[in-house]
Amino acid sequence: MSFPIEHIMTGRAEILSEGSQVALWGCGRETYTALKTAELLEKEYNISATVVNTRFIRPFDNELLKAQAAVMPVVTIEDSQTCGGFASQVDEELINFPHKGVRHFGWGNQIVPHGATETVREHSGFTSAKMAAEIAGWLGKSGSN
């Protein structure tokens, strides 16, 4: 059985779902985390989120980022350190561009402890539920609609 191969434009991100209040940019496996976080934002906080699959860090889709950042806050989610990674790329793109705010989720600039993946993520607040709560607070929304 063969599967059709989708043509992917180098340097272009993919919008997975459209929302109007915040843009969640997932990088790699964290694209799935962004989708789950968007689901929780809608269900628990009545926040409509766009979800973007970053696809490429270099070349980067700065056109889409700037278009979204001009009208809504942007959140990045990456499974790596935010210093020098995807978060830094976004900061560099927006440093002299008017935007509605940026928030990053990743491993910061710390040594990540060893342990079972889900345990480490829970301990570090790197779960969809905790991210949704932080994003809602950042946007000034309270829980349960």
User: Which residues are CB-neighbours of 84 under 8 A, at least 6 positions away?
Assistant: none
Pairing of strands 22-26, 74-77: parallel
Q: How confident is the model at residue 143 (pLDDT cuts 50, 70, 90)?
A: low
Task: Output the pLDDT for position 2.
Answer: 64
Residue 3 has pLDDT above 70, yes or no: no
Model confidence over 28-78: pLDDT tens digits?
999 999 999 999 999 999 999 999 999 998 899 999 999 999 999 999 999
Residue 110 has pLDDT above 80, yes or no: no
* Domains of the chain, earliest start first: 14-138 (3.40.50.920)
Residue closest to 105 by CA, chosen among 42, 56, 85, 44: 85
Model confidence over 5-33: pLDDT tens digits?
677 889 999 999 999 999 999 999 999 99
Task: Output the pLDDT for position 31.
Answer: 96
User: Which residues are CB-neighbours of 15 under 8 A, at least 6 positions away?
Assistant: 50, 51, 52, 53, 64
Task: Output the pLDDT for position 82.
Answer: 80
Task: Output the pLDDT for position 114.
Answer: 80
pTM over 0.85? The answer is yes
Task: Output the pLDDT for position 145.
Answer: 55
Please answer whether residues 140 and 110 qualify as being in contact, where contact means their C-beta atoms are separated by less than 8 angstroms.
no
Q: How confident is the model at residue 116 (pLDDT cuts 50, 70, 90)?
A: confident
Task: Output the pLDDT for position 144.
Answer: 60
Residue 111 has pLDDT above 90, yes or no: no
